[in-house]
Amino acid sequence: MRMQKFSTKDARTALLRKPRWEDLDGMMELINSLVEEEAPINRTEEVSRTEEMEFLTKRLSSIEKGEIIQFVAEVDGDIAGNAEITKLSGREAHVGRLGIGVKHGYRRIGIATRMIESLLQRAKKHGLKIILLAVYSNNLPAIALYKKLGFREIGRTPKGVCWKGAYIDDIRMALEID
């Protein structure tokens, strides 16, 4: 994808583009900020720079090979958001799994919507037909976002997530993009 420029709802300029090696620190800050605020994601431990270097090395290679479609949103030089679709394989090669995170301070200004819409367009070009995702039942902002984009619940693992000592459901959602 060529770089896309768009205006956020609060009139900032955001760039949507593929991640690159120079994003290492920005991407590490993004994931660690989500861990720090105890966002409803699976990771509970901050990543070290070494771990992030290993992760990004593998990730850039997977993107090059076309196994993962990934965009970052850059605002004022900061990595404000990250979203990816990981392609499944074999008989599930028409299915992709979506993941997304937007940094605190950049939310509710349309970044996730724009990132997902662009990813879905790209996924179609890659021949994907179904996009799946998992979301914790307490993550009302994300559930509202996904529903707005057309995703529907297809099932859940009751008590599939341990959230601060209580068991909550792990919801699965899907969208057909054909």
Ligand X SMILES: CC(C)(COP(=O)(O)OP(=O)(O)OC[C@H]1O[C@@H](n2cnc3c(N)ncnc32)[C@H](O)[C@@H]1OP(=O)(O)O)[C@@H](O)C(=O)NCCC(=O)NCCS
Kindly state the helix (H) or strand (E) to which residue 101 belongs, with its residue range: strand 95-102
Residue 70 interacts with ligand X (CB under 6 A)?
A: no
Is 61 or 157 the residue whose CB approaches ligand X more closely?
Answer: 157
- The HSE-up count of residue 3 (CA atoms within 13 Å, CB side) is 9
Site string for ligand X, 12-41 (x = CB under 6 A): ----------------------x----xxx
> Which residues, 74 to 133, sit near ligand X by CB under 6 A?
100-102, 107-113
In the complex, minimum distance from the CB of residue 169 to ligand X, in angstroms, rounded to a whole number = 13
Apex 29 CA angle, 24 and 45, nearest 5: 110
Residue 139 interacts with ligand X (CB under 6 A)?
A: yes
Question: Strands 95-102 and 130-136: what pairing?
Answer: parallel
Apex 55 CA angle, 100 and 163, nearest 5: 50
Residue 168 interacts with ligand X (CB under 6 A)?
A: no
Residue 58 interacts with ligand X (CB under 6 A)?
A: no
In the complex, minimum distance from the CB of residue 90 to ligand X, in angstroms, rounded to a whole number = 25
Is 9 or 57 the residue whose CB approaches ligand X more closely?
Answer: 9
Per-position DSSP letters for 16-63, written without gaps between them: EE---GGGHHHHHHHHHHHHHTT-SSS--SPPPHHHHHHHHHHHHHHH
Residues forming contacts to ligand X in the complex (CB under 6 A) are 34, 39-41, 100-102, 107-113, 135, 139-142, 144-145, 148
